[in-house]
C-alpha cells in the first residue's frame, strides 16, 4: 500500500503539473467507485484546479470557479475544517488554527478562495454548482482520492491508450487527463462541497501528521500504552500516513523492538526523530517502488534500495551483521534485527 512518502510524492507532482488547470469533465468507468455527491461528476467542467494537499494517505484536490468569481474572499486551505489535524504541503507544517492560504497564494497563482465554511450571503452565486437549501453554498468542489492497495494516479495525454483497470478519469482542457487505475479496487474517490453533508474531508482519519508532531504531543500519544509499539504506529487514529514499511525502518533506526511496550519518554523521542528522518529521506527518493507504486509522471521511487530491514529477512543486519528476522505482528509482516533492537 502506498504510504505517506509515496502519496506526498504524487501530491507534489500533481501540484507542479496542474496548477491552474481547467477541468473539461470527468468520467467514472467503474460504477459505484465515486462516493459522496455523485451528481457533481456531470458539473465539473469549467472548474479550475486549486490547492492539492495530502492528509495522511489521502489526496485532496480543490476545484473552484475562475478567479474573478472568488475575488475579495479570504484564502483558506482545502484541508480546513471539518478535518482534524495539520495539513502537509511540501514538508512544511501548518497548525489547524492557522491560515495556510496566504502563504501559499503564490504557489496557486495568487488567487484567493472563499472561506471553507461557505460563501458569505452577499457573495453567493446561483449557478450549476449552487447548493440546495440547507446545504453548503460554497461554489467549490472537493475531490478526495485514496490509492488503496494498488492505486495509481497518472497525468497523461488524452490520446494515450487507456491502461487496464482505469476506473476514473478527470479530463483537462488542453488535451491531458488525470487517470486513476486500481486493479484491486481498494482505492477511493469522493466528491462533495466544502461544509456540505457529503464533504469528503469527513472521511479523513483524525490522526496526527508524523512530519508535524512535536516531542510533547508524541509522548502524550504513546507514553504508557500497553500495546506493542509497532501496532501503535500502524494505528491511523494516532499517526496518519505511517505504514508497514516505514514503521519497520523507523523502529530499526531508533533501536526499538517492534514488540516493545511502555516506552520511556527518551525512547519515544528517539523514535519520533527516526520517523521524521526516514519519511523525509523517502520523500526525497520519490518513495519506495516495491510493487505497483509510481509517481504521477510514471517515475519509480528508489527508497527501496535504502531499506535496512524491510523485506530483508535472513540477510545480515547492516549495523551488526545478525540475520534480520521476520515475524507477523498485528497481522503484518514485521522485519527487525534481534540484536540491535530492544
Active-site residue list: 2-3, 57, 332
| DSSP alpha helix (H) spans, the chain | 4-18, 100-104, 215-222, 229-233, 244-254, 265-284
- Give Cα separations from 220 to 214, 217, 250 (angstroms): 10, 5, 19
Query: Closest Cα partner for 23 from 52, 50, 51, 46?
Result: 46
d(CA 163, CA 282): 27
**Residues ≥6 apart with Cβ < 8 Å to 277:** 253
Pair 182, 152: CB distance under 8 Å: yes
Pair 182, 148: CB distance under 8 Å: yes
Pair 340, 331: CB distance under 8 Å: no
Peptide bond into 82 cis (omega under 30): yes
If DSSP codes are grouped into helix, strand and coil, which group holds residue 226? coil
Which position has the grid cell 485514496? Answer: 146
Q: Provide the grid cell at 134.
A: 440547507
d(CA 51, CA 64): 9
Pair 191, 41: CB distance under 8 Å: yes
Q: Which residues pair with 245 in a beta bridge?
A: none
Amino acid at each position: 500500500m502506498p504510504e505517506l512518502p509515496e502519496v506526498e510524492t504524487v501530491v507534489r507532482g500533481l501540484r507542479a503539473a496542474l496548477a491552474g488547470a481547467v477541468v473539461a469533465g470527468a468520467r467514472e468507468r467503474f460504477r459505484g467507485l465515486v462516493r459522496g455527491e455523485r451528481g457533481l461528476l456531470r458539473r465539473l467542467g469549467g472548474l479550475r484546479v486549486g490547492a492539492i494537499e495530502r492528509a495522511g494517505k489521502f489526496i485532496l484536490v480543490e476545484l473552484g470557479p475562475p478567479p474573478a468569481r472568488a475575488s475579495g474572499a479570504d484564502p483558506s486551505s482545502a484541508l480546513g475544517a471539518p478535518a482534524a489535524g495539520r495539513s502537509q504541503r511540501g514538508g512544511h507544517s501548518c497548525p489547524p488554527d492557522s491560515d495556510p492560504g496566504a502563504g501559499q497564494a503564490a504557489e496557486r497563482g495568487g488567487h484567493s478562495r472563499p472561506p471553507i465554511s461557505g460563501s458569505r450571503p452577499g457573495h453567493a452565486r446561483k449557478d450549476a454548482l449552487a447548493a440546495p437549501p440547507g446545504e453548503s453554498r460554497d461554489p467549490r468542489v472537493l475531490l478526495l482520492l485514496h490509492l488503496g492497495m494498488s492505486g495509481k494516479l497518472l497525468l497523461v495525454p488524452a490520446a494515450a491508450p487507456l491502461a487496464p483497470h482505469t476506473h476514473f478519469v478527470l479530463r483537462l482542457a488542453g488535451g491531458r487527463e488525470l487517470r486513476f487505475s486500481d486493479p484491486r479496487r481498494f482505492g477511493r474517490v469522493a466528491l462533495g462541497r466544502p461544509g456540505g453533508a457529503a464533504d469528503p474531508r469527513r472521511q479523513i482519519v483524525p490522526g496526527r501528521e508524523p512530519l508535524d508532531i512535536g516531542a510533547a504531543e508524541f509522548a502524550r500519544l504513546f507514553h504508557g500504552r500497553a500495546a506493542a509499539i509497532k501496532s501503535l504506529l500502524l494505528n491511523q487514529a494516532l499517526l496518519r500516513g505511517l505504514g508497514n514499511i516505514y514503521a519497520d525502518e523507523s523502529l530499526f533506526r531508533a533501536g526499538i523492538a517492534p514488540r516493545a511496550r511502555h516506552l520511556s519518554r527518551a525512547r519515544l523521542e528517539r523514535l519520533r526523530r527516526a520517523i521524521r528522518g526516514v519519511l523525509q529521506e523517502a520523500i526525497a527518493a520519490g518513495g519506495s517502488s516495491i510493487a505497483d507504486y509510481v509517481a504521477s509522471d510514471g517515475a519509480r521511487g528508489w527508497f527501496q534500495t535504502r531499506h535496512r530491514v524491510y523485506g530483508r529477512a535472513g540477510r545480515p543486519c547492516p549495523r551488526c551483521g545478525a540475520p534480520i528476522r521476520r515475524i507477523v505482528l498485528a497481522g503484518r509482516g514485521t522485519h527487525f534485527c534481534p540484536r540491535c533492537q530492544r
